[in-house]
Copies of this chain bind each other. A is one copy, B any other.
């Protein structure tokens, strides 16, 4: 098992990527290849006693967070993210982990590995913590303008992923809307609902924003614009709420004492809300395994993302996708859904 890590991607690159890779290699006993500028990575490794447990694959370029993905990939043929996916293509690595430009990560994956048969738009599955485990929200940012058939396909991809990698059996699927009735929602959602209703997936109908954290549904489908707003809103709200609670408690002596006594509980609570704990979001619909991490990922988040990548490879995610997905999609095409 070898995981290719984009050493140049993310706000805290290369430090976070390098440290996370070392920790993962030591903890999981796997090979990790850091892809990026050899000099820069070498310098970073110099201060680590366990530097020998990871390898370096040199490339000369990197794509910045704010670059337009396709233009950047055209101009930078030797970028770390593209080279990382090329390693998977050549069979030299089993998966890619990147905290860099997510649009460029998606585009590199498609260019290097191609899409799975029948998939129109690969997408990113966000993993939300809930009381009972996790809820998948898909797409969380890869596709901002969608057609109904794309939403249907997100459902099929999330279904196969959840069964393969999250141990879910026939997971329930909801369509994110603004009311439970079929007539509610925008045009995209109303049409997507018709496709989902005709499928053999465990589609339970429309769900609302409040259902994301209620944990009563396993998979929630939406376009990448709405999903990204929801993801970022959750992050911002979790941060704001923990801040408010803290300053509220610090306002009184009793509150300060509560803060001290409840310290451990507060830490557990914060950890539950921390996206770093899960590690990253799987890129689904490509011929391979890719994990997109938050741009602000720490070393610990990178390590957790590498652990996920290993887990997904062990779960034979790609094989399951390649085998099962076309069946779900064919089912839809037979209904004429590919025209939507």
Q: How far is the CB of A253 from chain B (nearest CB, A)?
A: 9
Measured in the bound complex, the distance between the Cα atoms of B229 and A211 in whole Å is 10
Rounded to whole angstroms, the CA-CA distance of A183 and B68 in the bound complex is 9
What residues of chain B lie closer than 8 Å to A272, measured between beta carbons?
A: 244, 248
Count class of interface residues, chain A:
35 or more
Cβ-defined contact, A244 with B131, below 8 A: yes
228-270 of chain A: CB within 8 A of chain B: 228-241, 243-245, 247-249, 251-252, 254-255, 257-266, 268-269
Q: Is A186 within 8 A of B225, CB to CB?
A: yes
Q: Which residues of B contact A259 (CB under 8 A)?
A: 258, 262
Check: A178 CB closer than 8 A to any chain B CB: yes
A208 at the binding interface (Cβ < 8 Å): yes
Q: Which of B209, B243, B254, B273 contacts A228 (CB 8 A)?
A: B209
B residues within 8 A CB of A239?
210, 213
- Is residue A141 contacting chain B, with contact meaning CB distance below 8 A? yes
User: Is A40 engaged at the interface, CB distance under 8 Å to the other chain?
Assistant: no
Closest to A214 in B: B236
**A145 & B240 in contact (Cβ 8 Å cutoff):** no
A146 to chain B, nearest CB (A): 9
Contacts of A244 in B (CB 8 A): 131, 269, 272
- Asked whether A176 is an interface residue with its Cβ less than 8 Å from the other chain, the reply is yes
One digit per residue, 1 when the CB lies within 8 angstroms of any chain B CB and 0 when it does not, for chain A 175-209 equals 01110010101110100000000000000000011
